[in-house]
Amino acid sequence: MTDDVLVMDHVVVTDHGGVRTIRMNRPEKKNALTRAMYDGITRALRESDSDDAIRCVIIAGAPGAFCAGNDIGDFLNASEGGLDPRGHSFLKTLAACQKPMVAAVGGLAVGVGVTMLFHCDHVIAAANATFTTPFVKLGLIPEAASTLLAPMRMGYARAFSLLIMGRPLSAAEAKDAGIVNTVVDAAQVDGVALQAAQEIAALPRGGVAVARRLMRGHLEAVNRQIDAESSHFKDLLGSEEARSAFKAFLARKK
Residues interacting with ligand COA, by CB under 6 A? 29-30, 32, 68-73, 108, 110-111, 134-135, 138, 249, 254
Strand, coil or helix: 219: helix
Residue (31 or 181) nearer to ligand COA, CB: 31
Residue (187 or 250) nearer to ligand COA, CB: 250
Q: Which of 105, 132, 113, 121 is nearest to 188 (CA)?
A: 105
Q: Which of 171, 190, 191, 168 is nearest to 181 (CA)?
A: 171
Strand, coil or helix: 116: helix
90 burial level (CB within 10 Å; 0-12, 13-18, 19+): buried
In angstroms, give the least distance from the CB of 237 to ligand COA: 11
In angstroms, give the least distance from the CB of 250 to ligand COA: 7
Residue (46 or 243) nearer to ligand COA, CB: 243
Residue (66 or 181) nearer to ligand COA, CB: 66
In angstroms, give the least distance from the CB of 70 to ligand COA: 5
In angstroms, give the least distance from the CB of 135 to ligand COA: 5
